[in-house]
Structure 1
Amino acid sequence: MAELIGRRAVFHSEADFQHAFAWTLHSMQPSTEVRLEVRQAGGERVDLLCCGPQGRTAIEFKYFTSRWDGTDPVIGEQFRLREHAADDLARRNFIFDVARLEGLCAADPTLTNGFAIILTNHQPLWAPPSRPRLTRDQHFRIHEGRTLTGTLRWGTEGSYYMDNERNLIGRYTLAWNDYTRLEGVNGQFRWLGVGIRVPR
């Protein structure tokens, strides 16, 4: 991600982010084979599979944006980012990635580890709630300093939606990183990465 910052300040879409990340990784480590949208046993696809001398790593990406219009100062390209709605679904889907990567790593002995990444300019994703209150996605919060572990349930007491429940094997304390700060409203981008390594 540190290398990518010097090449691209912003991306048109999640697919654009994935491609730029894969391109940068391969240019840094030519011995690492990178493949996008790799089908796994059971029919699931992994956004990026990296194969090198150290083993195989599965990476999942999320790119959630607030509206921003401007120019990438690195490459001089014009961007018009759209507003994504539903913060709760962005949080949920990121944690779904973490849980899915745990499952893939546990099931496939050739998969050394996994990594879930979200890049966003949507400040409520990394900021702790301004006041404590019960929400249906309270177990799925991903703000700075939060620890994810154990059973995460969607809903409130007596009204849980079981299809969204996830059980995490690992324990992950979340630390957000600055990506870039561009001109205008919603110009600050930050990223969060969660590394997954399941005990054998």
Structure 2
Amino acid sequence: MEIAGSVKLAAVMNELSTVRSVFHSEADFQHAFAWALRTLAPAVGVRLEVPQGGREYLDLLCLGADGHRTAIEFKYFTRRWDGNDPNTDEPFHLRAHEATDLARQGFVFDIARLERFCLPNGKMNGLALMLSNDQRLWSPAATTRRTRDQEFRVHEGRTLTGVLRWGTEGSWFAANERQLSGSYPLAW
């Protein structure tokens, strides 16, 4: 995946990991990501919290040469952790976000939003990033029991596509249903 037609996502994440490995919040992660991107590709413009009409905002819009753009949505979901960032020795006290089902839901909602925001002319792509220290998100479910967020699972190796329904057979919650036009392989 290339950001704004200029730099590979893997290069940005590698740059970011050499500087920071822990973040205080999603906003902290967004800012650090934008900074790492600008370090690698100074010509790429970055805009945080860009209005998309109504009450919707895009976390980060990256503006490259020749009209290439990348829309990025971020999620930062943590388990409780107290420690120091090994790169900076900065102390961190991360709180526990226990509702993994809602983390998955928010991530899928972001993908659906990106489909709406991205232009079909081939010069705009989208990227949904979730950073977490909670292995329940990147690992397959430990149980075979059907859960309400079953179709919203985001574990390593899964591909999200088509209609994703929230709930269980006979008890679907239509307001949370999302129709994805594309196919999205998940990699952690």
TM-score by length of 1: 0.84
Matches of 1:128 and 1:80 in 2, distance apart? Answer: 27
The one-letter amino acid of 2:75's match is: K
Structure holding more strand per residue: 1
Instruction: Report whether the alignment pairs 1:99 with 2:112.
Output: yes
**5+ residue gaps in structure 1?**
177-200
Q: Secondary structure at the residue paired with 1:6? A: helix
Q: Secondary structure at the residue paired with 1:61? A: strand
Q: Secondary structure at the residue paired with 1:129? A: coil
Instruction: Report whether the alignment pairs 1:49 with 2:49.
Output: no
**5+ residue gaps in structure 2?**
1-12
Matches of 2:85 and 2:28 in 1, distance apart? Answer: 14
Matches of 1:122 and 1:27 in 2, distance apart? Answer: 29
Contact in 2 for aligned 1:128/1:143 (Cα 8 Å): yes
Matches of 1:31 and 1:122 in 2, distance apart? Answer: 35
Matches of 1:174 and 1:110 in 2, distance apart? Answer: 21
Matches of 1:136 and 1:61 in 2, distance apart? Answer: 23
Q: Secondary structure at the residue paired with 2:69? A: strand
Any idea what the Cα deviations from partners look like across 1:15-60, whole Å, max 9, x if unmatched? 0000000111111111001010000134411000100115111100
Counterpart of 1:160 in structure 2 is 172
**Superposition RMSD in Å:** 1.4
Counterpart of 1:37 (choices 28, 49, 65) is 49
The one-letter amino acid of 1:78's match is: P
The one-letter amino acid of 1:144's match is: E
- CA drift at 1:85: 1.7
Matches of 2:95 and 2:185 in 1, distance apart? Answer: 30
Structure holding more helix per residue: 2
Identical residues among aligned pairs (%)? 62
Counterpart of 1:123 (choices 135, 139, 143) is 135
TM-score by length of 2: 0.89
How many residues end up aligned between the 2 structures? Answer: 175
